[in-house]
Structure 1
Amino acid sequence: MSSVDEERALKIREIVCDILEIEEEDVSDTSLFKEEHDADSLRAIEILAGLEKEFNITIDQSELARMVHLKGVYEVVAESGSK
């Protein structure tokens, strides 16, 4: 299984928290964006776009189903970056 390095994980957390307009200490690796942080589908698309731009990767929109918490986002980014 792929994993992201600590520096990349911190940047992912920063992007997600910025888009969801929450403090970094308010989100855990498994807290659910929609249920616990009031994220909607538009925010999910913004997160995907922000990650693609930051890491110069392409993420298929079908991966949004896995990107429900930071752990899922880390996995998707790691897999997208290892093409």
Structure 2
Amino acid sequence: MSTITADQAEKIKEIVCEILEIDEAELTEESLFADDHGADSLRSIEILAALEKEFGLVIDQAELSRMVNLKGVYDVVQDAAAAR
């Protein structure tokens, strides 16, 4: 099973913050994208697409339901990397 590195985790956080248009200090692993940061479903799809492009992964859109916070995104990227 693949685990994400600290560098990958930092890049994921950068991507999420850029798409959500928030400062990195505002985003915690548990803060919810929709409830805490006002993200809509389109933002979630943008995050998914950016992660696929950055890491060369294929992520099923069904995984969007897990991508509600930064921890969920880390888990989805880790699972997608392990499935390659």
After superposition, where does 1:34-73 map in structure 2 within 5 Å? 34-73=34-73
Contact 2:2 2:81 in 1 (8 A): no
Q: Extract unaligned runs of 5+ from structure 2.
A: none
2:43 and 2:37 map into 1 onto residues whose CA distance is 11
1:63 and 1:40 map into 2 onto residues whose CA distance is 15
Q: Extract unaligned runs of 5+ from structure 1.
A: none
2:37 and 2:3 map into 1 onto residues whose CA distance is 24
TM-score by length of structure 1 reads 0.96
TM-score by length of structure 2 reads 0.95
Contact 1:2 1:75 in 2 (8 A): no
1:19 and 1:4 map into 2 onto residues whose CA distance is 20
CA RMSD between the two structures: 1.1
Identity of aligned residues (%): 58
SS at match of 1:57: coil
Aligned residues: 83
For 1:47, the aligned partner's letter is I
TM superposition outliers: structure 1 runs of 4+ over 6 Å: none
Contact 2:59 2:80 in 1 (8 A): yes
Q: Which residue of 2 aligns with 1:27?
A: 27
Q: 1:3, CA displacement in angstroms? A: 3.4
SS at match of 2:62: helix
